[in-house]
Amino acid sequence: MSVDRLTRVNALMKREIGTALFRVLNPDEVDLSAVTVLDVGVSRDLRDARVQISIRGDEAERARVMRILRRNRPEIQGLVSKQVILKYTPRLYFACDNAIEKGDHVLGILANMPEIVETEPAPPDGPAEPREVTD
């Protein structure tokens, strides 16, 4: 399968998995605004798909939501297979990605750093005179 086609399949799967999450997950059980599909990587043979999920909250909340996602995987996969017609329906594997939280942490550190202003020091004797270079 060409790389361009695989990229389009990944984007399509990402969109459909995001839509399926809203249909399958119970809003009373999971805060749907805290769950984001970051990326989907479908294998070249279309048999497997790794779904990168970001979950806002603490570690216990992330673990709980990941258990719910894994428990509802067959239903999510069934909805996706109805919308995305491929030779094979990829088996979904959910993985939690903490990149957004790490980025927020770094931005918080940078925001709390004192501002450093670098200025080039002036020469002690004033501007330097041009010198003639000889070999």
Answer whether residue 126 is part of any domain: no
Instruction: Please tell me the predicted confidence (pLDDT) of residue 52.
Output: 92
Q: Are 55 and 61 in contact (CB under 8 A)?
A: yes
C-alpha–C-alpha distance, residues 101 and 57, integer Å: 9
Answer whether residue 108 is part of any domain: no
Among 91, 96, 95, 99, smallest CA distance to 42 is for 91
Instruction: Please tell me the predicted confidence (pLDDT) of residue 3.
Output: 75
Per-residue pLDDT of the chain (135 residues; tens, 9 = 90+): 677 888 888 898 899 998 898 888 888 888 888 888 899 999 888 899 999 998 888 888 889 989 998 999 999 988 888 888 888 888 899 998 877 777 777 888 888 877 665 666 666 666 656 666 665
Among 131, 61, 43, smallest CA distance to 98 is for 61
Strand ranges (DSSP E) for 1-132? 35-42, 48-55, 91-96
Which DSSP category does 123 fall into? Answer: P
CATH number (domain holding residue 44): 3.30.300.20
C-alpha–C-alpha distance, residues 17 and 37, integer Å: 8
C-alpha–C-alpha distance, residues 17 and 9, integer Å: 12
Instruction: Please tell me the predicted confidence (pLDDT) of residue 108.
Output: 83
Answer whether residue 122 is part of any domain: no
Domain count, the chain: 1
Answer whether residue 84 is part of any domain: yes
Domain span holding position 12: 3-99
